[in-house]
Structures are given as structure tokens and as C-alpha cells.
Amino acid sequence: MNNYLTGERARIVILEDEPLVADGLSKHVLDLMPEAEVLVILPSVKKALDWFEKGHEVDLIFADIQLADGISFDLFKRMEPKCPVIFTTAFDQYAIRAFEVNSVDFLLKPIEKKELKNALEKLRKRRESYVLPELRMALDRVKSGKTYLERMLVTVQNTLMPVTIGEVSGFVKEELIFLVNREGKRLITDFQTLEELEGKLDPTVFFRANRQTIIRIDEVKQIKTNYKGLEVYLKNPMLNRVDISKERSPQFKHWMLGNE
């Protein structure tokens, strides 16, 4: 199969208000992904919002930024995408804002088939981030032979409780090492150092951001640059913002894009 997603029939939505552009993009996508199905082409924020509110399941969104009645960022502010997004536009000033969404790539019009292929290949490298954590870790074990933590014990009111890795948003080191779960609770682990913990975590899912913090890839919400490096904003309010040094920034970007 030549599917750049999961090897199954990929369900695709195109947000585009120019019919000729939408038709050309659709043809390129189907050439590169014969198993894919373009479910619908939506020309406006309103029509897209109406369509998504009906609960349709989607594997990939191609989103022009400037639509007939606004910009697609307005749509994603109201409806956080649950699948990857590849942005398309004739204006590159929107590139930084694309990081605020579940974005894989940013393609400038006119869209060349080669650039589209590169974006889909990038998505293929990231695809396991969208598989259930337990399944993805099983795939990793088969491929590499290395075993990563699937669950760990935390202390809650002098009682040990098991937590699966799928429940973890990240880890924070203070006097103790705390696990921060998806609900925003801080739970005490029995690890002595972040180095020890880091070596037991799947490196495609978790990243050592700095001396105090390990973060999870699907918790990243927004990235800003400054003279010191990167400010990474996370979905979990207990983690909120994490600073990454200028020296660590290239490693972080490679990790986010799923590069080897």
C-alpha cells in the first residue's frame, strides 16, 4: 500500500474556497494516496463548522488559511482538531500561527506535488503519535526489541497506585519527581532522577525539555520563539509553559516532526 497514514483508507477533508485549487489538491492527494477518500471540500468557516459539528470522523485535514468568510484559524479556535492538519496558503506570514494547531506542515501555493509528497512523508513518520499509546509501544517493541514503561506506581496518601503511560502528560522534578496526569493531578513517583526515568520512556512520545521537566508530544499546544530559545505551551494547566534552551531547540523540533 502507498498510504502515508496507517495503511487503511484515510478519510480526508479539504478546506478551500477556490474550486480549481481544491480540485488540483484533491487529485494530487489521491495520486499519492490511492486508498484515501476525500469526504468533502468546504469553502467557508461556517460550512466547515456545521459539517464538523455533525461528528464526522476524519484522519487528515488540508486547510487553506484564508477562506470565503474568514480564516481557518477561527474554525480551529472553536473546534480543536483531533487529527493532523496540513495548512495551505499563498501568504507565508501565517506560518508561526500554524504551530498553534495540530499542524504537520505549511505549504505555500501553488502547491507542488513534490512538496505535498514531502508533507505526507512527514506525516507518515509522525503517524504513530496518533495511535493508542499501548498499541504504539507494542509496535516499538517489535521493531526495536527495547521495552519501555507501560505503567508505573505512584504514591497517593501513603498508598501505591498503578498509572498507565497513556494517562501521563509529563513529569516535573522538584524535591521529588512528580507525574502529572491528564487530569492535571501531581502524583509522587519513586524515581530518584529524571535521567533514570528518561531512559525508561519512549523517546518518540516523551522529551526531556530541561533539567526539571519531561513533556509528552501530544500535550504540545503552541510554540513561541525568543532570544533564549523556545517557549512551549502545553494543554495541561499543571505544566502550562516549558522553556527550552537555544541549544536544545533543534532536538525539540526534530522530535516534534518525527525525524530520525
Average pLDDT score over residue span 192-205 = 91
CB atoms within 10 A of CB 173: 17
- CATH 2.40.50.1020 domain position(s) in the chain: 133-257
User: Whole-structure pTM over 0.75, yes or no?
Assistant: no
Average pLDDT score over residue span 42-70 = 91
- CATH 3.40.50.2300 domain position(s) in the chain: 11-130
Percent of the chain at pLDDT exceeding 70: 82
Give the whole-angstrom CA distance, residue 78 versus residue 16: 18
What residues contact 178, with CB distance under 8 A and at least 6 apart?
171, 172, 186, 187, 188, 189
Average pLDDT score over residue span 102-125 = 77
Q: What is the DSSP string of 153-195?
A: EEEETTEEEEEEGGGEEEEEESSSEEEEETTS-EEEE--S-HH
CATH superfamily of 133-257: LytTr DNA-binding domain (2.40.50.1020)
Query: Which residue shows C-alpha cell 520512556?
Result: 201
Q: Domain 11-130: which topology?
A: Rossmann fold (3.40.50)
Question: Which secondary structure element, helix H or strand E, spans residue 67, and what is its range?
Answer: strand 66-67
